[in-house]
Structure 1
Amino acid sequence: MSLIRLVWGAGEGPTELSAFDAALAEAGVHNYNLVTLSSVIPAGPDIEVVGTAPDLGPVGDELHVVESSAVAAPGESVAAGVGWARSESGRGIFYEVDGDDPESVEAEIREGLAAGRELRDWRFVDEQVVVESATATDEYAGAVVCAVYGEGRPAPTEGRGRLTGERGTE
């Protein structure tokens, strides 16, 4: 893997899930199957803050991500954020938070990163935070921030078949 991209988006929809999907669409990752990772950054890849993902492979591919997302009901606000800290070796940590206030989300991310740095015997040299927020008007609103690892990978299909209405037939 050569790159981790930070992408984000906000969107509205008539349901919670459609608002989340609209936020993913703005981030450019709505046509992929997101596979959530924990929050450790390997030493190798660069991190690029891009906003919207480029084409990362065929529709339906898996994308490995560290994700923060949240949805708000009409009349409410929402915020999602991802922060990261890297050491001299390139290893690092992500910290993801969601809430209803962008400033509180950023403050909690920075507090979490500080605690994560204390747990590791690494010399940290870089820290950044991305927060996305939205206010729901007449519909639900969603906000998402994802750290996307590399490009899409084919989703596993072994052992899966098309249902025809009869048990055990394909």
Structure 2
Amino acid sequence: MNTIHVAGGVGVADTAMASYDAALADANLHNYNLVAVSSVIPAEATVRAVETVPDLGPAGNALTVVEARRTVGPSDEVDFREGGRSGAEDAADKRAPRRRPNVAAGLGWATGPGPGIFYEVTGEDSESVRDRIHAGLDAGSSLRDWELTGRETRVEAAIPEPDRYTTAVVIAAYGESESVL
């Protein structure tokens, strides 16, 4: 039976791509060419949460994945007020404090005796990411005539460092890697 490994990581670096690479390294997925697929889990697969993904083949191979990824950089800011607000604002609202967002990425999965589904979410805090994962799994489950009784989630989150990029990833890696040549 094929195993899908779910791992996460956080990376901090001077560029967005370098922070993404560091987050992949944190999960031991930095030496593969990642090939994204939609979120269906094959019936014959076993999903296993791990701290880091084991060796899945030679560096440079293609690896099929479902990925949740969020990167925050030095110039990213959001309203301090919860949820922000659009439209007309009075002068006092325009002076509201601003903050750098947190970085969070999460992946949830629902399985049963047959196929299953993954659901990916990113955001600014672990709790809202988890809530949205559960809502997404509910919606995805209601679209299918599958018995999806087993549910799990994995969320990675960090507080960004000033003047650097921070990336959080959670990745489901399908089976072994394959040669791209």
Scaled by the length of structure 1, the TM-score of the pair is: 0.88
Extract unaligned runs of 5+ from structure 2.
Answer: 75-99
The amino acid of 1:106's aligned partner reads R
Residue number in structure 1 paired with 2:132: 108
Query: Are 2:3 and 1:3 equivalent residues in the alignment?
Result: yes
Extract unaligned runs of 5+ from structure 1.
Answer: 157-170
Distance of 2:51 and 2:6 partners within structure 1: 6
Deviations 1:107-149 (A, max 9, x none): 1110000001111111222011100011111311100000000
Distance of 1:30 and 1:107 partners within structure 2: 29
Distance of 1:51 and 1:45 partners within structure 2: 19
Query: Is the partner of 1:124 in helix, strand or coil?
Result: coil
**How far off is 1:76 after superposition?**
3.3
Give the 5 Å matches for 1:132-147.
Answer: 132-138=156-162, 139-147=164-172
Query: Are 2:173 and 1:148 equivalent residues in the alignment?
Result: yes
**How far off is 1:45 after superposition?**
1.3
Count of residue pairs the alignment pairs up = 155
Residue number in structure 1 paired with 2:103: 78
* RMSD (Å) for aligned C-alpha atoms: 1.1
The amino acid of 1:80's aligned partner reads A
Runs of 4+ residues over 6 Å off in structure 1: none
Distance of 2:101 and 2:18 partners within structure 1: 16
Scaled by the length of structure 2, the TM-score of the pair is: 0.82
Query: Is the partner of 1:104 in helix, strand or coil?
Result: helix
Equivalent of 2:119 in 84, 92, 95: 95
The amino acid of 1:62's aligned partner reads A
Residue number in structure 2 paired with 1:126: 150
Query: Is the partner of 1:70 in helix, strand or coil?
Result: strand
Residue number in structure 1 paired with 2:85: none
